[in-house]
Structure 1
Amino acid sequence: MKDTVTSTDVQNQIIEAFEFRHAAKVFDPERRVSESEFGTILDAARLSPSSFGLEPWQLLVVQDPDKRELLRPFTWGASGEMNGTEGQLRTASHFGIFLSHTGATMSHESDYPRQHAAEVKKFPAEFLDGFHAAYSKFRTDDFKIESERETTDWAARQAYIALGNVMTVAAMMGIDTCPIEGFDADQTSAVLEEHFGIDPKLYRPAVMVAFGYRAGPPMFPKTRRGMDEIVSWF
């Protein structure tokens, strides 16, 4: 008789993964995430939802040690300087940088939203005008996304959805992660332009994330607010 995976089993696996996950400050440099496992992580990012389905982010996977070193002087959240280690940049199996799109592509006046709807989402031609009108209303009337900074921040929020999903999927496979906001965004953007060929008019760094296997146990136990402190029922 085949084993049956129940809903309770899945629920337990999910909670175990969230209990397992912590922001790993340093990884075991001798252990590598397999190509197959990292492919699943990338698929989790690719299949993540986004506002209007526009996927306004890109992901750089930085594996070249020399290129990682370029980030160290201003990426204090991954350099190890906060805890006296080699940090995530030097020890992670894989290191990613989520880039958010800017107003150059995500304005309702730019070509990208309509092109994406037609070529990626495969919307019929007769739907495109309605889609574009809804997106324009959302930006100008509903959320009042007007400035370049507001547009980039909105795009970054979509990247964070993918970030959360890749960390959860990694945890379910026993792979450690660490989301990283400890970096100078302007200096990162300058290095990305000079050494990675990333046009700062089109993309801005939103958040970094490291993957690997923890070098030791978490420094502190996991603590969170109680359910009654975060959820209100009406």
Structure 2
Amino acid sequence: MIDKETKKTEVLSAFQFRHATKDFDPDKKISAADFDYILETGRLSPSSYGFEPWKFVVVQNKELRSKLAEYATGARRQLQSASHFMIILTRLPKDMVAGSDYIKRMLDDVQKLPHEIAQAKRENYDHFLKTSIAIEDDPRVMFEWACRQTYIALGNMLTAAALIGIDSCPIEGFNRAKINELLAAEGIMDPEHFGISVMAAFGYRLHAPSDKTRRCAQEVIEWVE
């Protein structure tokens, strides 16, 4: 068994290795097993109440990648060269309210909670949305709240990739409305239930990155005791 210090070193090394890769080597492809592992770390990621407001769409079709590039200026280089390209979708507010069919299915069929416990959890969740964080009356805030949860899954996938020497790049440089329209027109996304959250590219770097720079720990960490 790997000792704790070795694991810590491996994880920190992965963070040092990871950088936002702009140009991937188009001749190097991620194996199916390795990408399945990356996807699994996303699937197993935590979410508020365990309601998983995400869907991971892996776009390998070259024609569709070209169409995406028209409305995703921040992803054009990666769309051309990345081994794997992912679009993360987020559930719309209508699915994320406590009384939705989606939440009912999550409680009953996925989490498999007894009726009484499921009902109590639904009521608690309803109070959370309406009173604790008070966002249910603002669809835009509701959607952005769900999007923030997808970034937990994204972060886990980026780290998981780095741990096995795979490069990545999270991407927000796209026209959300146009990409939503395109995905709906292509039959990839149901616009009644989903909207785009973020994109990510995965592959193997073509060029060595610059040295990583970060503010020192004293600037970003404060202890309150």
TM-score range, shorter chain: over 0.9
**Partner in structure 2 of residue 112 of structure 1:** 102
Q: Is the 8 A contact 1:107 1:151 kept in 2?
A: no
Q: Match of 2:186, SS?
A: helix
Q: Is the 8 A contact 1:100 1:155 kept in 2?
A: yes
Paired with 1:115 and 1:131, the residues of 2 have a C-alpha distance of 13
Q: Match of 1:96, SS?
A: strand
Correspondent of 2:177 among 173, 178, 186? 186
Correspondent of 1:14 among 8, 11, 16? 11
**Partner in structure 1 of residue 203 of structure 2:** 212
Pairwise CA distance, 1:197 = 3.6
Deviation per residue, 1:103-157 (Å, 9 max, x gap): 1211123121122011101111110111011100110101111222112111111
Alignment pair present for 1:91 and 2:88: no
**Partner in structure 1 of residue 39 of structure 2:** 42
Residue type matched to 1:139 in 2? L
Deviation per residue, 1:172-206 (Å, 9 max, x gap): 00000000000000000000000134122211100
Residue type matched to 1:36 in 2? A
Alignment pair present for 1:136 and 2:126: yes
Seen in structure 2, the aligned counterparts of structure 1 residues 15 and 197 have a Cα distance that, compared at 3 Å, is: closer
**Partner in structure 2 of residue 221 of structure 1:** 211
**Partner in structure 2 of residue 231 of structure 1:** 221
Pairwise CA distance, 1:5 = 1.8
- In structure 2, runs of 5+ residues without a counterpart are none
Q: Match of 2:74, SS?
A: coil
Residue type matched to 1:30 in 2? D
Residue type matched to 2:70 in 1? P
Normalising by structure 2, report the TM-score: 0.97
Normalising by structure 1, report the TM-score: 0.93
Paired with 1:72 and 1:111, the residues of 2 have a C-alpha distance of 35
Pairwise CA distance, 1:38 = 0.4
Alignment pair present for 1:161 and 2:188: no
Alignment pair present for 1:5 and 2:2: yes
Correspondent of 1:177 among 157, 168, 179? 168
**Partner in structure 2 of residue 23 of structure 1:** 20
